[in-house]
Amino acid sequence: MKAFEYTRAADPAAAVAGFRPGDMYLGGGTNLVDLMRLGVAEPERLVDVSRLPLDRVEAAGDGLRVGAAVRNSDLGTHPLVLARYPMLARAVLSGASGQIRNLATVGGNLLQRTRCPYFQDVSKPCNKRRPGSGCPAVPGDHSHLAVLGHSEACVATHPSDMAVALAALDARVHVTGPAGSRVLPMPGLHRLPGDEPERDTVLEPGELITAVELPPPPPGRSAYLKVRERASFAFALVSVAAALDVGADGTVTGVRLALGGVAHAPWRAARAEAALLGAPAGEESYARAAEAELDQARPLPRNAYKVPMARNVIVRALKELTP
Ligand X SMILES: Cc1cc2nc3c(=O)[nH]c(=O)nc-3n(C[C@H](O)[C@H](O)[C@H](O)COP(=O)(O)OP(=O)(O)OC[C@H]3O[C@@H](n4cnc5c(N)ncnc54)[C@H](O)[C@@H]3O)c2cc1C
Q: Please identify, using beta-carbon distances, which residue of 108 and 193 lies nearer to ligand X.
A: 108
User: Taking CB within 5 to 8 Å according to partner kind, which of ligand X, ligand SF4, none is near residue 105?
Assistant: ligand X
AA identity, residue 103:
L
User: Taking CB within 5 to 8 Å according to partner kind, which of ligand X, ligand SF4, none is near residue 137?
Assistant: ligand SF4
Return all residues near 249 (Cβ < 8 A) that are at least 6 apart: none
Q: Identify the residue among 90, 128, 190, 268 touching ligand SF4 (CB under 6 A).
A: 128
CB atoms within 10 A of CB 131: 13
In order, the DSSP letters of 268-291 are: E-HHHHHHHTTSBSSHHHHHHHHH
Residue 112 touching ligand SF4 (CB under 6 A): no
User: Taking CB within 5 to 8 Å according to partner kind, which of ligand SF4, ligand X, none is near residue 30?
Assistant: ligand X
| Alpha-carbon distances, residue 251 vs 67, 103, 277, 281, 313 (angstroms) | 37, 43, 8, 5, 21
CB atoms within 10 A of CB 65: 16
Interface pattern 167-206 for ligand SF4 (x via CB under 6 A): ------------------------------x---------
The Cα–Cα gap between 40 and 79 comes to 38
The Cα–Cα gap between 208 and 212 comes to 12
Q: Please identify, using beta-carbon distances, which residue of 127 and 157 lies nearer to ligand X.
A: 157
Residue 235 touching ligand SF4 (CB under 6 A): no
* CB of residue 63 to ligand X, shortest distance in Å: 20
Dmax of the chain from CA atoms? 65
* CB of residue 282 to ligand X, shortest distance in Å: 31
User: Taking CB within 5 to 8 Å according to partner kind, which of ligand X, ligand SF4, none is near residue 156?
Assistant: ligand SF4
User: Taking CB within 5 to 8 Å according to partner kind, which of ligand X, ligand SF4, none is near residue 96?
Assistant: ligand X
Q: Please identify, using beta-carbon distances, which residue of 45 and 124 lies nearer to ligand SF4.
A: 124
